[in-house]
Amino acid sequence: MSQSIIELKNVNIYQSGNLILSNVDISVDKGEFVYLVGKTGTGKSSLLKTLYGDLELKDGEGWVAGHNLRELTWKSVPFLRRNLGVVFQEFQLLTDRNVNDNLKFVLKATGWKDEKLMDEKIADVLDKVGLKTKGFKMPFELSGGEQQRVDIARALLNSPKLILADEPTGNLDPETSDEIMQLLFHISKDYNTSIVMATHDYMVINKFPARTIKTESGKVWDNVSISMQ
């Protein structure tokens, strides 16, 4: 258990009362990079939502970053999410403020108060994603790849043990996708951060191979082999 950042045993996942995935058994180690694949509607998003506490776990056992998913309440979910980073396909940046203020908004929302410490943390994560000089840019002044890097920087703010990335290359051209994938693998390796990345892009998986989990027919299949479709 000590090496696992995610541990699900005999888990059933429901969405609006409907059984989406049954008998899910998954273990993800610290620092491991794992792909999550599957057709639309097969439960990828429901699985991710369960991992970050958006869907209640009713059946089975589940642990994420040391938190028991069965014992989560609306009060304890924020403590789970402080150990997580979530990267979205749509970036979800606040368009009315610059990059620095986007990141500061998240820090304040997760309990940071010291302005100097916040400024230092923001400079640190922007440096990690290669945007050291872009803090004063507005989102519309950035390319799609740069916006995704800001999204990854935001996910790194609370030094997470785990990043859940939902189609992070979905809106990017192939060259920019490669840059983002290199960045994610670098973060996983250098900071011992576990990453679970949902994707439809088999070209990315073939270019950057890693363990792959698949949702299909109401089940989760581990260590599947992905060939170009």
Domain ranges of the chain: 32-54+79-221
CATH topology of domain 32-54+79-221: Rossmann fold (3.40.50)
Which of 28, 15, 83 has the alpha carbon at shortest distance from 52?
83
C-alpha span between 202 and 222 (Å, rounded): 16
Place of tokens 């990828």: 44
Q: In the structure, what pLDDT confidence band is assigned to residue 227 with cuts at 50, 70 and 90?
A: low
The DSSP line for 174-212 is: HHHHHHHHHHHHHHHHHTT-EEEEE-S-HHHHHHS--EE
Q: Say how far apart CA 196 and CA 165 lie, in whole Å.
A: 6
pLDDT tops 90 at residue 195: yes
**What is residue 59's predicted lDDT score, i.e. its pLDDT?**
93
Reported pTM: 0.91
Q: Which residues pair with 198 in a beta bridge?
A: 36, 166
Distance CA 69, CA 212 (A): 23
Average pLDDT over every residue of 82-88: 87
Tell me: the pLDDT tens digits for 19-57? Answer: 999 999 999 999 999 999 999 889 998 999 999 999 999
Q: Return d(Cα 38, Cα 198) in angstroms, integer.
A: 8
